[in-house]
Amino acid sequence: MPFPLMNPALARALTEQGYEEPTPVQAAVLDRSAHERDLLVSAQTGSGKTVAYGLAMASTILGEADRLPAPGAPQALVIAPTRELALQVARELAWLYGRAGARVETCVGGMDSRREQRALAAGAQIVVGTPGRLRDHLERGHLDLSALEVVILDEADEMLDLGFKEDLEFILETTPTERRTLLFSATIARDIAALAHSYQKAALRIDTVRSNEPHGDIEYRAIRVAPNEIELAVVNVLRFFEAPGTLVFCATREGVRHLHGALRERGFDAVALSGEMSQRERTDALQALRDGRARVCVATDVAARGLDLPDLGLVIHADLPANRQGLLHRSGRTGRAGRKGVSVLLAPYTRRRRVEQLLASAGVDAAWSGPPSAEEIRAGDQARLVADPVLTETASEEDLALGRLLMEKSSPEVIAAALIRLHRAKLPAPEDLYDPGEPRGGSRDRGADRRDDRQAYDPQRGDRPRPERAPRESYARSETDGVWFRMAVGRNSNADPKWLLPMICRRGHVTKKDIGQIRIFDRETKFEITREAVDRFRAAVASAPGEPIRIEAAGAPGSKAHGEAPPLASPRDTGPGETFVRRPAKGPPRKGPPPKKKSNDARR
C-alpha cells in the first residue's frame, strides 16, 4: 500500500530515503480518523514509530505549506528517555523535514548545555530532548514553549520506569493547553493510561502490537551452557553466526567491562556501552558499530531501547533479561525494517526453568540446543571462505601480474594454503564447550533458581525433610590426604566430572593432579585438593567472589571433620555418610550433665 496523500516536502524526503509503503503504525497515524487529534499509540519496537509521529505532526506544524516558518520558539517538542534515543530521533526528523527547512535542536544530558542554550536562542522549529535536561532549560529560562503546537512522548513507559514522572508533569504543565499530545509507548500500562488521561483530550487509541505474538522477523534460540562457561559461549556464538553487527547484553557495568576486555583480548572488534561512560564515548561506540569499525557492542540495558543500528543481525543475552519487556526490547534491536535477526539466550542449566518462564511470558517459541561446537564453527569458516566474493571478483591487471609472479615461485597448493592461513589469522579461535544436555525427566529445571528443594518440617503432618541419597559414585582420581571443599551443585543439576574438573582447575588455579576424589550428591558436590596446592586454591577462589557457583571449605564425606570448619551451619538433614556440625549458640554455659541422647526409635 503506498503512502497516503501528504505534504509534498515530506513525500519527497520519504522517496529519497527509499520508503515505498508505510508500516502499520505509520498508516494508522495518517488515517483520516487521526487527523489533528491527540493520539495514544502502542507499537512494536522497530515498527517505524519515529517516522510515524514525524508524519503525524506535519498537519499541525506544516499544513499544506512547502516550508516551515522561520526558526524561533519551537513548534514541536519530542521527549525521549535516553540520550542515544534522543539523538537518533533528531537525525530522523532532520532528514524527514530537511526539504521543509526545519532546524532540529537537541537538549540532552551529558552534552554541553551552553551550546544548547545558544542554539535555543538562535531558534528552532523542532526540539528533541531528555526530561531532565529539558526541565533544566525551562527552569533557567532558556527554553520558550509558548508557541508549542505539538508535544510527543516517545517510549513513555520507559520514562516512567526511569523515574521521570515528575519531570514530565513539570514540562507538560508549562506547555499551551491547546497543543496536540502524541504519546507513544510499547505497552499501555495503568500509569501510562493515567498520564494520557491527565494531559490528552479525547485521544484516539491506536494499537498495532500483535497480542501474544513475538516479532516475526526475529528467530529466538536458547543455548544450554554450564554456568562457568558463559564467556566462552559468547565467543562461540559470535564465531558461529559471524553477523555483521552484534549486541551482547550484560546485567551490570562491571559485567560489560569484563566481557568487553575478554572479547578484545581474543581478537574481536568490540566496543562497550554503559551508563557510566561519557556521552562522547557512547557516541563513538555506536558510530563505530554503524560504520563497521566494530562488529560487537557489549552493553547494559541502556542500549535496549530505541536504538536503530543497521546490519545488526544478532543479539546475545549473556545475562538473562529481568522480565519479558527486557527480553522483547533487547531482542527488538535486531529484525528491524523487514530484515531478519537472531536473538540468543545463554541458558545456564541452573536457570533452565527461569528461561522457560521468560520465553513463555513473552510468547516466544525458542529452539533449544547445546552451544556451537568448535567443529561446527570450523565447518562454517570453510563454507564462508569458499563462498567469499573475493574469489569471484574480476581481477585487475596488476593483481593478475602479481598472481603470475607467485605462480612462478610456488605451486597453486602452497599459494592456496597461504590464503587459508591469512583468512584464519583474522578469526578468533573457537572454544571447546561442555553441553549439559536436556535435563532428565523433561525440561523442568531443578537448579539454583528454583526454591530450595528441602522440605520444611510440618508438625501437623508429622513428616520430616527427605534426606539426600548417598552419592551415586565416587570419582577417585588419586588417593590423597587432602582438604575437602564443597559446591552447592549436585546430580539434580546435572553435575558431571566432565565439566566440574575444568571448572575447579580454572577457579582454583590448579591442575588435575592436584584434585583427589570428587563425590557427587543430590544437591552438592564435594571434592579433595592436595595439601601442597590447598593454599594456592584458597587464594584463587577468594579472589573471585562473583562466580555463579560458590566454593566453600567442607568436612570429608563420612567424617565429622577433616581439619576444616563445617561447610554450613544448616539445620537440614544430609545424606548418609555426611555430617553437618551446628555452631554452638552464644550464651551462658549449660549447667549440669548433658542430656541423654534419645534412640532413633524414640525420635520417631
- Per residue in 127-180, pLDDT (tens digit) is 999 999 999 999 999 999 999 999 999 988 778 877 888 999 999 999 998 999
Q: What mean pLDDT value characterizes the chain? A: 80
Distance CA 551, CA 510 (A): 14
**Is the pTM higher than 0.85?**
no
Q: State mean pLDDT over 10-30.
A: 87
Least confident piece of the model among 68-77, 84-93, 448-457, 473-482: 448-457
Cell 517516522 locates to 51
Question: Considering the chain, what percentage of its residues have pLDDT values greater than 70?
Answer: 80
232 and 192 fall within a common domain: no
| pLDDT at residue number 477 | 45
Order across the sheet with 525-529: list the strands. 474-476, 515-520, 525-529, 483-487, 551-553
For the ranges 124-128, 163-167, 407-411, 415-419, the one whose mean pLDDT is highest:
124-128
Residue 101 lies in a domain: yes
Q: How confident is the model at residue 451 (pLDDT cuts 50, 70, 90)?
A: very low
Other residues' Cβ atoms within 10 Å of the Cβ of residue 598? 9
Residue 302: is its pLDDT beyond 50? yes
| pLDDT at residue number 279 | 73
Cell 561519557 locates to 278
Half-sphere exposure of 419 (CA within 13 A, CB side): 15
| pLDDT at residue number 111 | 84
Residue 275 lies in a domain: yes
Q: How confident is the model at residue 85 (pLDDT cuts 50, 70, 90)?
A: confident
Residue 334 lies in a domain: yes
Cα end-to-end span (Å), the chain:
78
Other residues' Cβ atoms within 10 Å of the Cβ of residue 312? 22
Cell 530484515 locates to 339
Strand partners, 341: 218
Q: Domain residues for 224?
A: 218-376
33 and 173 fall within a common domain: yes
Cell 534419645 locates to 598
Q: State mean pLDDT over 398-423.
A: 85
174 and 73 fall within a common domain: yes
Gyration radius (Cα) of the chain, Å: 31
| pLDDT at residue number 473 | 44
Residue pair 567/552 in contact by the 8 Å Cβ criterion: yes
What DSSP string runs through 377-421? HHHHHHHHHHT-GGGTSPPPHHHHHHHHHHHHHS-HHHHHHHHHH
499 and 536 fall within a common domain: yes
Q: How confident is the model at residue 369 (pLDDT cuts 50, 70, 90)?
A: very high
503 and 361 fall within a common domain: no
Residue 452: is its pLDDT beyond 80? no
Residue pair 289/248 in contact by the 8 Å Cβ criterion: no
In three-state form (DSSP H/G/I as H, E/B as E, the rest C), the secondary structure along 205-258 is EEECCCCCCCCCCEEEEEEEECHHHHHHHHHHHHHHHCCCCEEEECCCHHHHHH
Structural domain ending residue among the three candidates 317, 351, 376: 376
Q: State mean pLDDT over 254-271.
A: 92
Q: State mean pLDDT over 569-590.
A: 37
| pLDDT at residue number 214 | 53
Least confident piece of the model among 24-33, 294-303, 469-478, 544-553: 469-478
Residue 112 lies in a domain: yes
Q: State mean pLDDT over 13-27.
A: 87
CA distances from 218 to 90, 331, 433 (A): 27, 8, 26
Question: Considering the chain, what percentage of its residues have pLDDT values greater than 90?
Answer: 31
Task: Provide the domain count of the chain.
Answer: 3
Residue pair 159/85 in contact by the 8 Å Cβ criterion: no
| pLDDT at residue number 562 | 40
| pLDDT at residue number 561 | 45
Residue 81: DSSP 8-state: S
Nearest residue to 338 via CA among 308, 368, 315: 308
201 and 297 fall within a common domain: no
Cell 542554539 locates to 119
| pLDDT at residue number 571 | 32
Cell 563445617 locates to 566
226 and 199 fall within a common domain: no
200 and 226 fall within a common domain: no
Residue 412 lies in a domain: no
Residue 67 lies in a domain: yes
Residue 63: is its pLDDT beyond 50? yes
Report the interhelical angle of 49-56 vs 83-96 (nearest 10°): 50
| pLDDT at residue number 449 | 43
Q: State mean pLDDT over 413-431.
A: 84
Cell of 46: 522497530
198 and 340 fall within a common domain: no
Residue 590 lies in a domain: no
3-class DSSP state of 188:
coil
Phi first, then psi: what are they for 105, rounded to 5°?
A: -120, 155
Residue 367: is its pLDDT beyond 80? yes
Residue pair 34/205 in contact by the 8 Å Cβ criterion: no
Nearest residue to 304 via CA among 132, 90, 106, 155: 155
Least confident piece of the model among 64-73, 384-393, 407-416: 384-393
Residue 337: is its pLDDT beyond 90? no
- Give 533-557 pLDDT, tens digit per residue: 898 898 888 877 667 788 988 877 7
What DSSP string runs through 249-300? E-SSHHHHHHHHHHHHHHT--EEEE-TTS-HHHHHHHHHHHHTTS-SEEEE-
Of the two residues 191 and 527, the one the predictor is more confident about is: 527
| pLDDT at residue number 1 | 52
101 and 249 fall within a common domain: no
Residue 425: DSSP 8-state: H
What DSSP string runs through 301-369? GGGSSS---TT--EEEESS--SSHHHHHHHHTTSS-TT--EEEEEEEEGGGHHHHHHHHHHTT--PEEE
Strand partners, 487: 525, 551
| pLDDT at residue number 209 | 64
Residue type, 263: L
Burial 566-597 (b: 16+ CB within 10 A, else e): bbbeeeeebbeebebeeeeeeeeeeeeeeeee
For the ranges 41-45, 194-198, 364-368, the one whose mean pLDDT is highest:
364-368
Structural domain ending residue among the three candidates 334, 351, 376: 376
Q: How confident is the model at residue 217 (pLDDT cuts 50, 70, 90)?
A: confident
CATH code of 294's domain? 3.40.50.300
| pLDDT at residue number 495 | 82
Of the two residues 460 and 244, the one the predictor is more confident about is: 244
| pLDDT at residue number 472 | 44
Nearest residue to 522 via CA among 462, 456, 562, 572: 572
Other residues' Cβ atoms within 10 Å of the Cβ of residue 512? 11
61 and 167 fall within a common domain: yes
200 and 249 fall within a common domain: no
Structural domain ending residue among the three candidates 323, 357, 376: 376
Strands 150-153 and 218-225 come out as unpaired
Residue 415 lies in a domain: no
268 CB contacts (<8 Å, ≥6 apart)?
Answer: 238, 295, 296, 428
Half-sphere exposure of 471 (CA within 13 A, CB side): 21
| Burial of residue 374, with CB atoms counted within 10 A of its CB: 0-12 exposed, 13-18 middle, 19 or more buried | middle
| pLDDT at residue number 56 | 92
